[in-house]
């Protein structure tokens, strides 16, 4: 990846573990329960990172998923840790699969990293079967008026790509999906903040170690946006 990628850092791994996101598998389980996928379905894990979800879906729920990610480094770990599962290089903006293939797409803390959200949503719609379900967990700005100040920070972390959730809802619907569920999990961010300070001493120390987001103004801009966390489930309608 060309930009500074926090997810490839050992500090991020230490903080979050094999799942490079908030909520571990608890939110994945909620998604599985709501989406009613079966072992006959093929799923796509968009931005699979180290492959933890692909493996978990297989071993715990008997669900078949393939993972794509633009990071060669994370894909190498995914393949090494999960030799029985399938992982491919790819990005949300150009999904390397044919139309109407997947019954479900999971995007766990990855949509906020897309460089072109419109293209990514169009791609997810294209590769999904009609009535397929799109499961998203990610960060958002509870104070979207302050998002402008975040745009100057090129750091590759979902915090850089915080959403205006209302705007995202509009974008998801414009792409052809019907939103069936949105739930707030901002409490998980507070827990992570406490854990980060406990392990690294301060947020500043953590951001410095992960590669540069300590750049002047980043943390102030972040605080102003009031980061939150959500789960969304949307269905493809034709």
- Give the residues lining the site for ligand SAM (CB under 6 A): 7, 19-21, 46-49, 52-53, 69-71, 74, 91-93, 108-110, 113-115, 158
Question: Which residue's CB is nearer to ligand SAM, number 85 or number 91?
Answer: 91
- DSSP structure class, residue 211: T
Distance of closest approach, residue 136 Cβ to ligand SAM, in angstroms: 11
Question: Which residue's CB is nearer to ligand SAM, number 29 or number 93?
Answer: 93
Order the strands of the 64-69 sheet from edge to edge: 86-89, 64-69, 42-46, 102-108, 128-141, 227-236, 177-184
Q: Rounded CA gap, 81 and 100, in Å?
A: 29
Q: Rounded CA gap, 62 and 38, in Å?
A: 8
Query: SS3 for 231?
Result: strand
Question: Which residue's CB is nearer to ligand SAM, number 3 or number 131?
Answer: 3
Distance of closest approach, residue 7 Cβ to ligand SAM, in angstroms: 4
Question: Which residue's CB is nearer to ligand SAM, number 74 or number 105?
Answer: 74
Distance of closest approach, residue 53 Cβ to ligand SAM, in angstroms: 6
Enter the tokens of residue 92. 């949300």
Distance of closest approach, residue 23 Cβ to ligand SAM, in angstroms: 9
Query: SS3 for 113?
Result: helix
């Amino acid at each position: 990846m060309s930009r500074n990628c926090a997810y490839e850092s050992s500090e991020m791994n230490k903080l979050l573990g094999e799942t490079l996101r908030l909520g571990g598998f608890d939110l994945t389980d909620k998604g599985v329960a709501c989406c009613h996928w079966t072992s006959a379905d093929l799923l796509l894990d968009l931005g699979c990172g180290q492959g933890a979800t692909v493996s978990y879906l297989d071993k715990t729920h008997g669900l078949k998923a393939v993972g794509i990610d633009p990071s060669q480094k994370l894909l190498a770990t995914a393949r090494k840790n999960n030799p029985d599962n399938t992982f491919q290089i790819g990005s949300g903006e150009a999904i390397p699969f044919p139309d109407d293939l997947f019954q479900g797409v999971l995007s766990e803390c990855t949509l906020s990293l897309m460089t072109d959200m419109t293209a990514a949503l169009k791609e997810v719609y294209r590769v999904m079967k009609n009535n397929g379900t799109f499961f998203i967990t990610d960060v958002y700005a509870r104070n979207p008026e302050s998002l402008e100040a975040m745009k100057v920070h090129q750091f590759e972390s979902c915090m850089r790509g915080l959403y205006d959730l209302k705007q995202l809802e509009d974008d998801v619907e414009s792409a052809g999906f019907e939103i069936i569920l949105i739930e707030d999990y901002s409490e998980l961010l507070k827990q992570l903040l406490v854990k980060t300070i406990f392990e690294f001493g301060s947020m500043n120390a953590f951001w410095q170690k992960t590669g540069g987001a300590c750049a002047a103004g980043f943390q102030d801009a972040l605080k102003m946006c009031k980061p939150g966390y959500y789960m969304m489930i949307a269905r493809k309608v034709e």
